[in-house]
Chain A
Amino acid sequence: MTNQLAPTHAEPWAPEILDLDSLNAAATNAVVQSIEDLRRRAQARERGEPPLAIVAVGPAGVGKTHLFGRLRRKVGARGVFVHVRPLIGGEMTPRFLLGQIVQQLGYNSYGQSQIDVIAGTTLALAGGENPRFPAAMLQQLRELSAEERQARVEQAIESLAPSAAGIDTSYLERLLRVPFAEPLPRTALLVWLSGRDLDDAQARRVGVRDALPDGEVISALRTIAAVAAATSPLVIVFDQLENLIDPGGSGSRIIAYGNLIAELVDVVRDLVIVQMGLSTEWDANIERRFGPSQRSRVIGRRIPLLLPTPSERRALVELWLKNVASPLTDGQLATLCDTVGLTPRMLLEELREALEGNAPAEKAAEPPDDACLAAWEGCLAFARHHIDEMALTGHGPEMAFLLEGFVALASLLPDLGPIKIERPNLLRMVQPKGPAFIAILNQANPASVLAFLRTLAGLPGGVVALRERWREWPPTWKQTRAQWESFRKAPSVGWQWLDRDEAVNMLALAKLLKDARSGDVSGRDGKSLAFEAVKGWARAKLEVRGWALTQALCGATPKEQQPESTVLEKHPASAAGAIAILRALRVMSLERLIREAHANRADVLRELGSSKSVAFIGDAIVRWVEE
């Protein structure tokens, strides 16, 4: 029964949310107005000042993340939304932001893929048609021949280019092609658009040789924003900004964030920026770190986030208990609704407890373990989903997320000392007791791996190097494999295949600590658990010292115990071996599975069909599901 009260409103991409329009209506209207103003200005092709970046702060549980869901629901296809949380290990770079934007443009928001909305509305507007029906526009274009469709895309680019200064037409052309592409080319296009590394097949499909160069990332951001502005403006919501704070640190991440926002405001221009965080942290530690020029960009407009009034609390209770008999008497409800300082999250917890019949005494006595465990399980689910989602593109987890996992792990193990991010896939141990560096060989093509191996060979001190086990070297990468073999055998190198479960743990750990910093891990009493309490729980209960990665970082994995064979070598090449390979690698393209199994398509398909643990995603991707 209490499932009805599950906190989906704290999940930014929940398909549906229970919402009370009057709550934080002023904040909602301010953002919506900003979106409308930007659209009107872009349609009129006026240059004007960029939209003011919005700052919205409040206490934990006031409904900040819920506000994101509310905006998606309210604005619908008349805006595209991106939800970004800062990294705890490193700085947010434009490339990281581009990756997050393109990934979330691929998400459905109220029935439509956001990238389809951008492409559909842009093509409609350029063709003089109604941009309010992007799906219909795309359907109409799908019925054209490839040549006719390409002509429409080019016509759109020609009409947009003169009015939107600084856009990258080749990026735009690929962006507009996404909705019409077959699954594999679509994936390749999205990987390239997101600024990530491509494998050779993906590069061929996109028609490029390399990933988007650093110098073109800001142009790519500008292109997305400028194209979306006239129809469905881009709204980036930065949430949990308190995670920018580095206790005892130099504040470099806050300054880097300020620079990123300044660049978005000054160069990318045509987008709406919303920044959310905790009042106390914003006041005491974030705003005061910005210099005057950053401040003028970051703090364009402040909007308060309000607690519900007594009548709004009553309405919220009615909304949440719509299909459930109220467990409260009129008197209890009146007392609850009149309580000073009650946030929506606390109200929800009160109702949940009332439905479960918990007495107040039980609340106070309950240890925080259950709350931490519940939060941990949520983080694990997030991490698994992310890894599966990225595997569909042929990639491992977002590198920045994995790196912050290492930083989080180090924060639980004081004897390990702090870890600093040197490069996007290289970490340095500040006080090494074992290896001095951690390297992640996540590259998608052999040339990049070889280049990285050469870099690693020149590093002083030992290095722990790893790659996702489910992304082992393809058999065709013979030179890479040979180079890796000699690298792996060097005395200063500790090699680790990163198992999926370990990767899940690392991502989940970083998320748990981020949520704890933001006051989003709350006990049964609805009160946010102290960050140190959650950290203490993680240290005590997750047994991080026993994780294989911890052992490797401490230099405790003897060379002879380090894995030598790869999963592909362990499993015989045959149709029957296809199941074992898929089970180990979890998600892969059917083409690759056939290639790795050295069997013909019909035999592999027959073998896959005989297992209940095999699921297809479309025709091209195959996935292992737990029984």
Chain B
Amino acid sequence: MASRAKTIDLDSVLPALRAALEREKALNAPALTKAGVPRAQHAAALSRLEADGFERTPKAVRVPLRKQLIKNLEERKQIAPSQLVKAVRGATVKEVKAVAAALVSEGRAKTVLRGKVEILAHVSAATLSREQLVALARASKLLATLAAKALRRDATVLQDDVREQLLEFVQSRKAVSLLDTAVAELGRHVRVSVGLSFVPDTVRALSAHRPSEVHAAILEAARGGRIELQPDSGLDRLSPEELDLCPPGPRGTRLSWARLTGAA
């Protein structure tokens, strides 16, 4: 007598499958069997998981590829091409490349050239704009010509002339270093009473720079996760001068407090 294949109540295993998926990012047929889903019910289980928002592939189900890649970028900031497919689970190289290209075209990620390798970078990465790249190419060409001439004539060039040509990029470096300085300064101005740094203290301490430059650096540090900026919500106790020293926050607020997250 032929025995009927055993069936299970899928509702009883679905919570465990969802948890496993969130943990493992993808589940294939053997994983489903191991989780107690009979082979005959694989298709039904996959459909249920698909309805929950997971992505179904011919042989497996996975956390949506796009979501996996975005999360990885947020955590790692840069992903080399050799690491792209390893950064996600349950996808082919072709699929990952297509999603990466889509993120770049939507402005959610950047393609960055490092040496000979093209990497995928988080949108917050400090990079040169297209205009800056054109300027850099032009300056490099001029400097290369100048250096070649100097070598041929057994002469040299002034550092200031080189600096002038690269001024735009030197300024860019200065902005990066201001960011570090601002974060260090915030660290020096932590108020023990609240465990937070009062932003106007830091802006005053960096008075050699324009407040707008310091604000830009502080906001950049917040976007990069090095600090957390909090809106002020006192009883209108900040003076007009203090308000001006706070970077603008969402919905007309001023960001008056910063917390160092400890991230480098």
Contact = CB atoms under 8 A, between A and B. Distances in A.
A341 B193 contact: no
Given A283-B194, A306-B259, A334 B232 contact: no
Given A279-B196, A307-B230, A330-B106, A284 B237 contact: yes
Interface in B214-264: 219, 222-223, 225, 228-238, 249-253, 255-257, 259
Given A59-B257, A302-B195, A331-B106, A525 B251 contact: yes
Contacts of B76: none
Given A330-B106, A341-B250, A342-B250, A245 B231 contact: no
Interface string A283-323: 11101100000000000001010110111000000000000
Interface string A324-345: 0000001100100011111100
Nearest to B198: A283
B253 A341 contact: yes
B249 A341 contact: yes
B250 A339 contact: yes
A310 B74 contact: yes
30 contacts: A59-B230, A59-B233, A61-B233, A242-B235, A278-B233, A278-B234, A279-B194, A279-B233, A280-B232, A280-B234, A280-B256, A282-B194, A283-B193, A284-B234, A287-B193, A304-B195, A304-B196, A304-B259, A306-B228, A309-B225, A311-B74, A339-B250, A343-B230, A346-B251, A525-B251, A525-B252, A526-B251, A527-B251, A527-B252, A527-B253
Contacts of B173: none
Contacts of B229: 340-341
Contacts of A245: 235
Contacts of B97: none
A311 B219 contact: no
A354 to B, nearest CB: 14
B138 interface: no
Interface in A45-70: 57-62
A339 B251 CA distance: 10
Given A282-B194, A346-B250, A525-B252, A519 B233 contact: yes
Nearest to B220: A340
A341 B194 contact: no
Contacts, number: 98
A567 B195 CA distance: 58
Given A307-B228, A340-B222, A60 B233 contact: yes
Contacts of A302: 194-195
Contacts of B225: 309
Interface of A: 57-62, 242, 245, 247, 278-285, 287-288, 302, 304, 306-307, 309-311, 330-331, 334, 338-343, 346, 349, 517, 519, 525-528, 530-532
B236 A530 contact: yes
B191 interface: yes
Nearest to B74: A311
Given A304-B195, A340-B222, A340-B223, 14 more contacts: A60-B231, A61-B233, A242-B235, A280-B235, A281-B235, A283-B193, A306-B228, A311-B74, A339-B250, A340-B229, A342-B250, A343-B230, A343-B231, A527-B253
A342 B108 CA distance: 20
Interface of B: 71, 74, 106-108, 191, 193-196, 198, 219, 222-223, 225, 228-238, 249-253, 255-257, 259
A304 B195 CA distance: 7
Nearest to B254: A341
A264 B30 CA distance: 59
* Residue picked from B74, B231, B236, most chain A C-beta under 10 Å: B231
Given A306-B259, A346-B250, A59 B231 contact: yes
B101 to A, nearest CB: 16
A522 to B, nearest CB: 9
4 nearest A-B pairs in the assembled complex, by CB-CB distance? A280-B234, A60-B233, A341-B249, A519-B233
Given A304-B196, A304-B259, A283 B233 contact: no
Contacts of B230: 58-59, 62, 279, 307, 341, 343
Given A280-B238, A283-B194, A334 B231 contact: no
Best-buried of B196, B225, B230 by chain A (most CB within 10 Å): B230
A330 B102 CA distance: 13
A531 B250 contact: no
Nearest to A60: B233
A340 B249 contact: yes
Contacts of A285: 237
Given A281-B235, A281-B237, A282-B193, A340 B255 contact: yes
A341 B251 CA distance: 10
A526 B107 CA distance: 28
B191 A283 contact: yes
A342 B253 CA distance: 10
A61 B223 CA distance: 20
Given A282-B194, A304-B259, A343-B231, A334 B251 contact: no
A391 B217 CA distance: 58
Contacts of A526: 250-251
Contacts of A61: 233
Contacts of A342: 250
A191 B253 CA distance: 46
Contacts of A341: 222, 229-231, 249-250, 253, 255
